[in-house]
């Protein structure tokens, strides 16, 4: 801030001051993103100081330095034991609740030495050595004015609780947003996964408060999606009443929600969550593929994804995993082949290879299949026919893969003309349907909405609190519509015009305009109000 | 919303009997607390008692409020009464090359203010016009003028920025104090009005006379107009029929001593362009200088003539003369009468003076006494000090 003022950019700040400084934070387990509210009805995902819009949730300590984001992730290769990843899901959990089975190369979760049943991380750091001359209490000046050189920093151990790690990370996100906006952030909305318990939400709220963030609301991921998809900008052509399937493929888990959007109001019809399906699984497939390729090309043995890897193998795998991240992004963005290159992958041998879309899709087909199966299961359990789903919304970097969209549309039994961000062409070039920024943008819009409520609307603000009773509503259970009797000779004896779909939140209002056909002889018309349940035979 | 076409009702259609089925009961769901629609829903259920009419009225009110806010934000807080003037086609078709002949106030939409426009108002008016007429905005809106298929897609309105240039010129002149003074001196509107001014010949030839009302309605605006050129600001105005003698005299006094800042540089002839001839230049300059002097002289004469004319026609002068005459006659009449009652007031005056003198004398005396007493006290103190010193000396 101060450096900005010195450089004389006061003008820009004054101009920006009309727009309230509100941010939306998508806080995932592996990646986070920040969006700021720019103009009325528009939110924009911003890049942090490293130029990353997808900020890796990683924290690494090396010597006296602390790295956050992608530089921290790069430390997984050489400094894995001092690198903390995947901490979000541990928020608010007790140490005894955390399964200890999975072996990780990153900093292991340990029992906090002082607090009981508290998960923590232990990292090795270098502490700056204490000042060589202890300050005398009498105020006697030091013997010499020449600075005494400090001694070498002392190696030390630092114990960080999950909550502290989260606070450090959120603080860095806040800092990025404030650097972008050029002023203090007024308030924020943060996403939470639907699987979070109340205790976990409390822990997140506390960590955010410690980081200095004013949290307006913790928004569940499907709700953050709905905040984006119910805007005018999202769907100028789509119907206001539609059923929307949200496919959120994270790095380690898949969560699906079926939303009923009724004139801007959204509620969940069904949701499911399955662990183990996601970006990490794709990474494993790719890593194995490239490792085999490497072995074939260079005759250097490399085994990855094994239980007990050698140090050289583990390091090579970490390098390869960082590299395939880039390969995945290239595959998503361009139809051509994507390269994967790692310098000195193992034993000082470089590796370069490429993979095309077809090969890639074949490789990760099992993961596509399991996603499609989960979708089918969800629709089954909700008793919703795939044909009644009007729109699919994708969330998460993995869903940028066009192959996944194709596979899902073909195999899950949806209508051919189902709307997806790909069919609407809003994925490319950071469009409005960009799966990586949807959540953060929804949060920023929501923050703007809450900030716009005045003091008079105190009772409305209560509805945004967790588990507010005001969110409980009555909905219609069947479709209401009109029958205009005519000689078409079908079952109902007329033309059926559905007006109010099932699951519409009450009170509801729908408007329809009719051109009434009148015969010359009898100038009369009639219609009947019907309630029907629709199904496909 | 597109309307739905319905078919004709069949002739055989009969109304069905009342339905025995009842509408199926609602199910309970939990809304996701997101989006403006959720806030609307809350308002509808909590504040508006489930009535869509109340809700719509509220929404309309909010919309209007927002619109007003946006309007006020768009126009700035206050445009200082600049307003929006309609722009005639002629105005928009001005040729920037003929800039000397333009009416700059009209170009900036300030015709209603003219020389009274403040620098702030000029600034605001200029900004408004620039926003409206910037060439960047025109390119997209203008249609190609040629119907030739060969030229479609090529922007033929190359003269698009003509009016913008005029605006820039007007702004340049009106924001430069010296240039503005020169321009105001020969303001279009002023020149037009001056041609309509009554001249002495009008009255001399036709022996035309004016009623009191006509006199004031004709001459008041002219003096108001001319007052702008006065070096001495706040010139007295013509006033009305009942104006006092002092006012009328002051008025003519001021206007006969009228000093004008009006100058005529604006009407100078340009030195021939491209002419490097020094003599040519000097000749034109000389000509211009003499022309300016001539115009100035003419202008001074014009004002003077005009004041003469006013004086000759002013109905109040007659009235004042009449009053003076009456006063003189009254005085004469008073003089001739015996001065008997004048003694008493003189007596009292003499008495007053005597009293005053006495008072002053008394005060003087009192002051002198006080002085003496002070001097005595000081003397005593001095003596005491001297004695004390004398005592101390042997001890030392």
The whole-chain average pLDDT of chain A stands at 87
Question: Does B43 contact A460 at a Cβ distance shorter than 8 Å?
Answer: yes
What gap in Å lies between CA B107 and CA B122, rounded to an integer?
Answer: 11
A231 vs B contacts (CB less than 8 Å):
35
If you count them, how many residues does chain B have?
396
DSSP-H helix ranges across A344-476: 357-363, 365-382, 402-411, 438-452, 458-462
Pick the residue of B4, B22, B33 with the most A CBs within 10 A to test the interface with A by mutation. B33
Give me the phi and psi of A158, to 5 degrees please. -125, 130
If you count them, how many residues does chain A have?
537
SS3 A59: strand
Q: Tell me yes or no: is domain A20-87+166-234+439-472 CATH 3.30.420.40.
A: yes
B40 vs A contacts (CB less than 8 Å):
264
Question: Does B9 contact A227 at a Cβ distance shorter than 8 Å?
Answer: no
B8 vs A contacts (CB less than 8 Å):
486, 517-519
- Whole-complex ipTM: 0.86
SS3 B178: helix
* Residue ranges of chain A assigned to CATH 3.30.420.40: 20-87+166-234+439-472
A384: exposed, middle or buried (Cβ count in 10 Å: 0-12, 13-18, 19+) = middle
Chain B positions with Cβ closer than 8 Å to A? 1-11, 13, 15-16, 21, 23-46, 50, 52
Angle, CA A463 vertex, CA A457 and CA A466 arms, to 5°? 140
B23 vs A contacts (CB less than 8 Å):
531
CATH of domain B89-145+153-175: 1.10.287.110
Nearest-by-Cβ selection for B35 from A226, A453, A505: A226
Which of B162, B318, B310 minimizes the C-alpha distance to B236? B310
Q: Tell me, what's the pLDDT at B160?
A: 67
Segment A119-158, tens digit of pLDDT:
999 999 998 877 666 555 566 655 666 766 777 888 999 9
Sequence-separated (6 or more) residues with CB below 8 Å from residue A266: A223, A226, A230, A259, A260, B31, B32, B34, B35
- pLDDT tens for chain B, 396 residues: list them: 578 888 787 777 777 778 777 888 888 999 999 988 999 898 888 888 888 888 899 889 988 988 887 776 655 556 677 777 788 888 888 888 888 888 888 888 888 888 888 888 888 888 888 888 888 776 554 444 445 455 554 444 555 678 888 899 999 999 998 889 889 888 877 888 877 777 777 776 555 667 778 888 888 888 888 888 888 877 888 888 888 888 888 888 888 888 888 888 888 887 766 667 888 888 888 999 999 999 999 989 888 888 888 888 888 888 888 888 999 999 999 888 755 444 455 555 667 777 777 778 777 777 777 777 777 777 877 777 777 776 655 544
Domain residue ranges in chain B: 89-145+153-175, 192-268+283-324
What are B359's two structure tokens? 């008072």
Nearest-by-Cβ selection for B31 from A471, A512, A518: A471
Helix (H) or strand (E) holding A123: strand A119-127
What gap in Å lies between CA A93 and CA B43, rounded to an integer?
Answer: 38
Question: Does B30 contact A511 at a Cβ distance shorter than 8 Å?
Answer: no
Are the beta carbons of A156 and A126 closer than 8 angstroms?
Answer: yes
B7 vs A contacts (CB less than 8 Å):
484, 486-488, 495, 517
Question: Number of CB pairs < 8 Å for A and B?
Answer: 157
């Amino acid at each position: 801030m101060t450096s900005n003022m010195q450089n004389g950019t006061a003008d820009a700040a004054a101009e920006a001051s009309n727009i309230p400084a509100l941010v939306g934070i998508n806080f995932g387990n592996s990646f986070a993103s920040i969006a700021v509210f720019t103009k009325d009805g528009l939110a924009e995902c911003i890049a942090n100081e490293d130029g990353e819009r997808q900020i890796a949730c990683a924290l690494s300590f090396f010597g006296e330095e602390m790295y956050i984001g992608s530089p921290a992730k790069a430390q997984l290769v050489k400094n894995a034991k001092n690198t903390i990843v995947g901490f979000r899901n541990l928020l608010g959990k007790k140490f005894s609740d955390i399964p200890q089975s999975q072996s990780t190369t990153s900093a292991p979760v340990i029992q906090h030495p002082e607090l009981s049943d508290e998960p923590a991380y232990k990292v090795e750091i270098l502490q700056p050595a204490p000042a060589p001359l202890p300050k005398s209490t009498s105020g006697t000046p030091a013997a010499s004015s020449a600075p005494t050189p400090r001694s070498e920093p002392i190696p030390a151990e630092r114990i960080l609780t999950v909550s502290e790690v989260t606070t450090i990370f959120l603080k860095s996100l806040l800092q990025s947003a404030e650097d972008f906006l050029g002023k203090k952030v007024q308030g924020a909305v943060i996403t939470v996964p639907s699987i979070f318990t109340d205790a976990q939400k409390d822990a997140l709220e506390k960590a955010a408060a410690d980081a200095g963030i004013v949290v307006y609301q913790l928004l569940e991921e499907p709700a953050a999606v709905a905040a984006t998809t119910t805007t005018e900008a999202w769907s100028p052509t789509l119907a206001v009443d539609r059923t929307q399937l949200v496919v959120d493929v994270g790095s380690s888990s898949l969560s699906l929600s079926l939303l009923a959007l009724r004139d801007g109001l959204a509620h969940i019809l069904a949701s499911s969550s399955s662990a183990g399906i996601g970006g990490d699984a794709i990474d494993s497939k790719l890593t194995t593929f490239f490792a085999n390729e490497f072995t074939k090309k260079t005759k250097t043995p490399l085994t990855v994804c094994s239980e007990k890897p050698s140090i050289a193998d583990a390091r090579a795998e970490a390098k390869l995993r960082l590299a395939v991240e880039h390969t995945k992004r290239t595959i998503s963005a361009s139809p051509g082949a994507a390269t994967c290159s790692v310098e000195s992958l193992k034993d000082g041998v470089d590796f370069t290879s490429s993979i095309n879309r077809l090969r890639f899709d074949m490789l990760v087909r099992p993961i596509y299949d399991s996603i499609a199966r989960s979708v089918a299961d969800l629709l089954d359990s909700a008793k919703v026919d795939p044909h009644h789903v009007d729109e699919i919304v994708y969330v998460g970097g993995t869903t940028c893969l066009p192959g996944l969209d194709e596979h899902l549309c073909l195999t899950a039994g949806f209508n051919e003309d189902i709307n997806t961000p790909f069919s609407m062409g809003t994925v490319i070039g950071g469009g409005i349907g960009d799966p990586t920024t949807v959540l953060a943008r929804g949060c920023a819009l929501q923050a703007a909405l809450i900030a716009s409520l005045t003091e008079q609307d105190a009772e409305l603000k209560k509805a945004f609190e967790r588990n507010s009773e005001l969110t409980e509503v009555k909905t219609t259970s069947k479709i209401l519509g009109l029958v205009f009797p005519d000689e078409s000779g079908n079952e109902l004896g007329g033309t059926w015009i559905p007006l109010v779909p099932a699951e519409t939140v009450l009170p509801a209002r729908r408007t329809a305009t009719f051109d009434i056909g009148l015969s010359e002889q009898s100038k009369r018309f009639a219609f009947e109000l019907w309630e029907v349940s629709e199904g496909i035979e | 919303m597109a309307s739905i076409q319905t078919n004709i009702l069949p002739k055989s259609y009969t109304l069905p009997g009342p339905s025995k089925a009842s509408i199926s009961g609602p199910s309970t769901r939990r809304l996701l607390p997101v989006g403006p629609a959720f806030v609307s829903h809350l308002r509808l259920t909590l504040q508006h008692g489930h009535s869509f009419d109340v809700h719509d009225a509220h929404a309309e009110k909010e919309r209007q409020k927002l619109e007003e806010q946006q309007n006020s934000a768009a126009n700035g807080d206050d445009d200082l009464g600049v307003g929006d003037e309609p722009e005639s086609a002629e105005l928009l078709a001005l040729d920037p090359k003929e800039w000397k002949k333009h009416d700059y106030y009209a170009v900036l939409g300030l015709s209603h203010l003219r020389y009274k426009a403040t620098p702030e108002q000029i600034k605001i008016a200029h900004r408004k016009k620039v926003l409206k007429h910037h060439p960047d905005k025109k390119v997209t809106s203008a249609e190609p003028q040629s119907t030739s298929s060969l030229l479609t897609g090529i922007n033929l309105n190359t003269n698009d920025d003509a009016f913008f240039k005029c605006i820039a010129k007007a702004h340049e002149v009106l924001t430069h104090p010296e240039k503005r003074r020169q321009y105001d001196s020969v303001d279009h509107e002023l020149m037009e009005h001056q041609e309509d001014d009554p001249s002495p010949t009008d009255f001399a030839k036709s022996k035309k006379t004016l009623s009191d009302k006509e006199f004031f309605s004709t001459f008041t605006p002219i003096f108001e107009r001319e007052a702008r050129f006065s070096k001495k600001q706040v010139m007295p105005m013509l006033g009305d029929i009942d104006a006092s003698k002092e006012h009328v005299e002051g008025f003519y006094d001021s206007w006969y001593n009228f000093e004008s800042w009006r100058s005529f540089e604006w009407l100078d002839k340009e030195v021939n362009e491209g002419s490097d001839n020094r003599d040519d230049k000097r000749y034109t300059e000389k000509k211009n200088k003499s022309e300016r002097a001539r115009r100035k002289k003419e202008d001074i004469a014009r004002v003077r003539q005009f004041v003469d004319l006013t004086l000759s026609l002013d109905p109040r002068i007659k009235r004042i003369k009449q009053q003076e005459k009456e006063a003189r006659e009254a005085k004469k009449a008073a003089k001739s009468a015996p001065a008997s009652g004048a003694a008493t007031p003189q007596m009292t005056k003499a008495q007053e003076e005597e009293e005053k003198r006495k008072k002053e004398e008394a005060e003087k005396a009192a002051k002198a006494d006080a002085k003496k007493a002070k001097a005595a006290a000081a003397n005593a103190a001095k003596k005491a000090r001297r004695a004390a010193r004398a005592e101390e000396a042997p001890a030392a």
